[in-house]
Amino acid sequence: DNVSMIQEAGTLRCGVKFDVLGFGFRNPETGDIEGLDADLCRAIADSMGVEPEFVEAISANRIPFLQEDRVDIISSTMTRNEERLQEIDFSKIYYLAGQKILVKSDSPHQSVDDLVAAGVKVCSGQGSTSETNLRDKGVEEGNLVLFATYSEAAQALLDGRCDAVSTDDSILFGLAQQNEGLEVRGEAFTEEPLGIGIKKGKEDLVAFIDAVLDQMAANGRWAELYDMHIKPYTGDEAPEPPLDM
């Protein structure tokens, strides 16, 4: 089966982000990939008795990386939804995010509706649910500025090439932390349940990952990782793990 093939290879190849603080972030000093997504990959690899290998997976190449067998799993702030379930499988939900906006501290805009009403430019990630959600909210095509990564989107906001960045709050918190003068605003206007992506036809791998996630919820490891990686940015205590939603 698929799990024993990974065990024979000795390596679990995980597609993660390299520029998202708290989830998948390449520490410039050590080169280590840090964050919840990276540590979930480490925990799964550990349970298999193999080494994790991190491959940078940006929003737009997550599904292709699975379909082309470039990685075994995608642990890259990925929303599980019906549309994506047509193409790939997902684990249980390990984090519940929601879409918000990030603006400069002196911006008058408080919400996505303000941005639409003002007709200003909004930056986001190509191939993300955020992109689609912004269109659904009424952001016009000419005002939607898309980038391969969220660090590029934040740079564009700082440079004045757009008036806001909009994606998962969990990503925006890290960008606000990294860049002085940027702040997250408003209520979440979507639900983004994050799951681990797996190529279709690998039911044993999905079951293995779900069992690891259940175990991490039961033994407190999930809450420990939440406190280590997420709480520093949100200030929130670990909620109940959202696994069975």
Q: Which residue is it, tokens 């840090």?
A: 34
Contacting residues toward ligand GLU, per CB under 6 A:
59, 77-79, 125, 128-130, 167-168, 171, 192
Label residues 146-181 b or e (16+ Cβ within 10 Å = b): bbebbbbbbbbbbeeebbbbbbbbbbbbbbbeebee
> Least distance (Å) from ligand GLU to the CB of residue 92?
16
Cβ atoms within 10 A of the Cβ of 101, count?
Answer: 26
Q: How far is the CB of 13 from ligand GLU (least distance, A)?
A: 18
Q: Could you tell me if residue 64 is left (phi over 0), alpha (psi between -120 and 50 degrees) or otherwise beta? A: alpha
DSSP 59: G
Q: Which is nearer to ligand GLU, 11 or 127 (CB)?
A: 127
Nearer to ligand GLU, 79 or 107 (CB): 79
Question: What's the rounded Cα separation, in Å, for the pair 98 and 17?
Answer: 18
For the CB of residue 168, give the shortest distance to ligand GLU in the complex, in Å. Answer: 5
Query: Residue 52 or 174: which CB sits closer to ligand GLU?
Result: 174
Q: Name the residue nearer to ligand GLU (CB basis): 96 or 118.
A: 96
In angstroms, what is the minimal distance from the CB of 208 to ligand GLU? 22
Amino acid type, 159: D
CA distances from 170 to 24, 70, 77, 167, 194 (A): 12, 26, 9, 8, 11
Smaller CB distance to ligand GLU: residue 39 or 192? 192
CB of 242 to ligand GLU, least distance (A): 14
